[in-house]
Structure 1
């Protein structure tokens, strides 16, 4: 029996596969092949050369150590914060969780500059400690500074995932442990935390991958003896023909994929499911006065530390003089005026690149989600695998692959090299952020019952019309969440940007901030641009939350209407076409009865 595939879904799937092949598989494959030889000759000589150089061996060890330590300290921040806000009933828990996510909306390399001003050798904290107690804390020196910055910036990944897992724990499990005499830390260690392990492992794996791949933070802090800075420096100084740059890139890919694989292996074969029924989640308990004092004190200190980059960058953006003092000696708005007059193009470039990239991501994410969940195409799951693989590819590696693959490609009918256009920057943003949009679109489509499409088609709507007028509007919340996530994470991307930007006229804000931060004189305007970047990201996030809340409220109100008594429902809906199918059915009339 010959297998007959639907034409349109097959063509869409092939087009997506072609795009992923050209802009993800081929560039990464080029990097891998270049690491193992040139001109088609396989060799391990490049890897031998890598391990023969002490600087590269040191960089390899430093990257692993910094990533592991960042996961450890990020967990030390996130675990108590998640447990306190989920486990105990006290005022401000939602606000605390919201503030705890704020570090993600600031580029980590911007936070590094701010933390130098607060915790550096002559920063605010050390000046106070030296004056009051006669000692300083060398937290912003060398690799310690990188660990400190990365832990503060990326701990929200652990916080968000762990909070969700803690909320999903069946309260009966805790009650049973309490009845058997388990209390305090023993209860947390033996029952609560093991049940929340999937969320913790997912967050920890993301922190490891992000830290291992980060380029901007080490560069801003002057720490180049790590893999990502070494890959960047070798490609920019030696050139695209340097094999060691590709070896470093291959090692970075291997460790990123290995971290994600190991996180899945840790959870494999273990059952973390519970029999939780509606509302029977882990019970909130009231804090005693002593417990409340300790909890609020500890949370206050943590929030002050994790929000210090925002405080520092805001003060720096307003400071005319800030040197060897706890706070700026004088304030000015000149830095913002300088940004408005000199860097307006960078702001518009950011909005253009990130907006187009996010739009591409939600279109591809929606299409892939539909092909996977609504069609029977053979091998359709590979679309998910390939798109999600972009999460494990470091930005600097993808950029190196683009430069190598497209180095001789010109724009049709022109002599302009493809690698000299802003289009490649936008494509890199889209490829790197596709997994975020895809996950949001998949989750949204899974909540749309297929019976709605079938009902629309049975009443005369075409497949395309049902998707456009039924499926997409019902997925609107998830699509918008994917768009905003892609946009805000692309807006702070530096790893790929710094390699693909060839002129200041095409530079986005992240590149402009990096350039400003290279000199003391430019740090004021750089901080002002950093504040603008944070505001753009924050406003986008807030707008998405408002939209999602309104969509949820509308959905709930419709659900209430659907749950009305049959007699009343029949009276109100008799001879009325269902609102969900308005404009889809055309001339078909649907009579709703109970």
Structure 2
């Protein structure tokens, strides 16, 4: 007997379970994302005395020299970080995609390493290496009699942020370069274009979508970063000012909320500009089968120069990790190119006194990852497998978390939930579970995209066949969909876990007790004083190893998934 399989257009528009799922997810996003963000925006436009709608808070902001200077400093630091991140990423991307370059995979992998360490941790190591009395300047002063202001003021923030976030440009630009149709390059060469002119007029413009995607991410991440400027004692930037206003003046001060709204607006504006820059332009290719840029052999002299450039860049971008490792074993490291002696005592202190930070991190990041996978997987299923009203709004709402800086979300949680108390008088915002929810909201877009991609690769005919054989929708999802999505779910969980483990901005706002603090908070506390930087560096190494293991696990899961799909085909 033949069974007629239903087409996607014949999907059931809604079922009781689907409706309940939409309502639960909408409630979750509403309470823990929309309401806190909306509260921040509402407070920024509310007169403190009368409670009426007003723009006076914004007039006060733009009438205060400190805030205006902080705004332009943040724009300048973010813009220059994009410039220097491009300087670092462009040679690596071009050399590993356009030329027969031995070790290209290793270079691309090492280029990703900076992302697995929080930038504020690298800032301390960078001070020891490139600060006024750091290794490089001490050697320059001894040999040539001068020092360079690598880490002075805004220069230090730009330097650290460029080294940390340049992989966003490297990854996206490399992908775009690989996807360019070689026939377009060959056509340009036949018309006489070659060398730098070919790259400037043909290759780089065709790779522009990837570059702009990476550049906009760098700009937004730097603009919203809180801890790096604070650790480098640079307070005249927007994110530090928002934090300082709320923690020093209080939750009733409107300036903290005004700054938060500006942070959100600039984040959205940067993403919008990157989208507008590509609108109306055609970057598509017509490749069939192979494609990709043709790789050229390097001459002997070119190879020497190329490898020299690559080694210099890699040494530079890996210097925070080198400095952190040295500091974690150093007894004393001050006014000398290298530590005076080495010890393992810092690790003993960390495991003895700070194991609570590690335990809390494992709990918080694991719970946040599980929430993200559950919510992200449910949203992906509702969007791709149903026609229920409101499913697209769930997708947009969850993705909008990308535009909400961590410090803003933390301020929103304090404003929204601090006045809500438990029977014993404990404010809801003071509970550790609020840290978990903030971490989950911040990382939800990453897990959502992973779940979305995994579900897109599953044919609907498999579910339809199961239902035609008598399986209920619940059993179909449990026995067919979830097992086939497992690779994407695991990748989404690991991504959420590894990034939540080193999140500081929202955590710094919400932690009320040292007993509830995760690794990121512990790192920040340790790094505040010279005496604590050794143990802080040891804790930082542990955090890096933890995130690195999660990243490797993610790559392993994805690779296994791809192999399984290939064998199935």
TM-score (norm 1): 0.92
Q: 1:546 aligns with which of 527, 531, 556?
A: 556
| 2:305 corresponds to 1:263 | no
Which stretch shifts more, 402-411 or 229-238?
Answer: 402-411
State the Cα deviation string for residues 489-522 of structure 1 (Å, max 9, x = none): 1111111111100010000000000000000000
Please give the alpha-carbon distance, in whole angstroms, between the structure 2 residues aligned to 1:420 and 1:63.
30
Q: 2:228 aligns with which of 196, 199, 217?
A: 217
Please give the alpha-carbon distance, in whole angstroms, between the structure 2 residues aligned to 1:78 and 1:459.
53
Please give the alpha-carbon distance, in whole angstroms, between the structure 1 residues aligned to 2:547 and 2:220.
22
What does residue 17 of structure 2 align with?
8
Q: 8 Å contact 2:242–2:260 — kept in the other structure? A: yes
Q: 1:184 aligns with which of 191, 195, 201?
A: 195
Please give the alpha-carbon distance, in whole angstroms, between the structure 2 residues aligned to 1:52 and 1:203.
34
| Structure 2 counterparts to residues 416-565 of structure 1, below 5 A | 416-559=426-569
* Structure 2 gaps, min length 5: 1-11
Please give the alpha-carbon distance, in whole angstroms, between the structure 2 residues aligned to 1:205 and 1:514.
27
State the Cα deviation string for residues 212-233 of structure 1 (Å, max 9, x = none): 0000000000000000000000
2:239 counterpart SS class: helix
Q: 2:38 aligns with which of 29, 33, 52?
A: 29
| 2:268 corresponds to 1:252 | no
| Structure 2 counterparts to residues 325-364 of structure 1, below 5 A | 325-364=336-375
State the Cα deviation string for residues 86-113 of structure 1 (Å, max 9, x = none): 1111211000000001000000000000
Please give the alpha-carbon distance, in whole angstroms, between the structure 2 residues aligned to 1:469 and 1:126.
62
- 1:123: how far off? 0.9
- 1:4: how far off? 6.6
Which stretch shifts more, 549-558 or 185-194?
Answer: 549-558
Which stretch shifts more, 322-331 or 95-104?
Answer: 322-331
What does residue 29 of structure 2 align with?
20
What does residue 566 of structure 1 align with?
none
| 2:96 corresponds to 1:52 | no
1:151 counterpart SS class: helix
2:250 counterpart SS class: coil
Please give the alpha-carbon distance, in whole angstroms, between the structure 1 residues aligned to 2:28 and 2:282.
38
1:41 counterpart SS class: coil
State the Cα deviation string for residues 290-334 of structure 1 (Å, max 9, x = none): 111111100100000000000000000000111111111100000
Corresponding pairs, count: 556
State the Cα deviation string for residues 528-580 of structure 1 (Å, max 9, x = none): 00000000000111122222222322332333xxxxxxxxxxxxxxxxxxxxx
| Structure 2 counterparts to residues 576-591 of structure 1, below 5 A | none
State the Cα deviation string for residues 254-276 of structure 1 (Å, max 9, x = none): 00111111111111122211111
What does residue 91 of structure 2 align with?
80
Q: 8 Å contact 2:330–2:341 — kept in the other structure? A: yes
Q: 8 Å contact 2:491–2:557 — kept in the other structure? A: no
What does residue 235 of structure 1 align with?
246
Please give the alpha-carbon distance, in whole angstroms, between the structure 2 residues aligned to 1:547 and 1:24.
30
Which stretch shifts more, 71-80 or 102-111?
Answer: 71-80
Please give the alpha-carbon distance, in whole angstroms, between the structure 1 residues aligned to 2:62 and 2:425.
41
Please give the alpha-carbon distance, in whole angstroms, between the structure 2 residues aligned to 1:46 and 1:469.
55
2:331 counterpart SS class: strand
Q: 2:326 aligns with which of 311, 315, 319?
A: 315
* Structure 1 gaps, min length 5: 560-594
1:331 counterpart SS class: coil
Please give the alpha-carbon distance, in whole angstroms, between the structure 1 residues aligned to 2:391 and 2:276.
24
- 1:456: how far off? 1.9
| 2:114 corresponds to 1:89 | no
- 1:238: how far off? 0.4
Q: 8 Å contact 2:399–2:445 — kept in the other structure? A: yes
State the Cα deviation string for residues 454-476 of structure 1 (Å, max 9, x = none): 12222222222222222222222
Q: 1:385 aligns with which of 379, 383, 396?
A: 396
Which stretch shifts more, 480-489 or 531-540?
Answer: 480-489
Which stretch shifts more, 127-136 or 187-196?
Answer: 127-136
Q: 1:102 aligns with which of 105, 109, 113?
A: 113
What does residue 283 of structure 2 align with?
272
- 1:48: how far off? 1.3
What does residue 285 of structure 1 align with?
296
Q: 2:237 aligns with which of 226, 232, 238?
A: 226
Q: Which runs of 4+ in 1 moved over 4 A?
A: none
Please give the alpha-carbon distance, in whole angstroms, between the structure 1 residues aligned to 2:560 and 2:452.
21
| 2:214 corresponds to 1:203 | yes
Please give the alpha-carbon distance, in whole angstroms, between the structure 2 residues aligned to 1:556 and 1:138.
53
State the Cα deviation string for residues 414-451 of structure 1 (Å, max 9, x = none): 43211111011110000011011111111111111111
What does residue 4 of structure 2 align with?
none
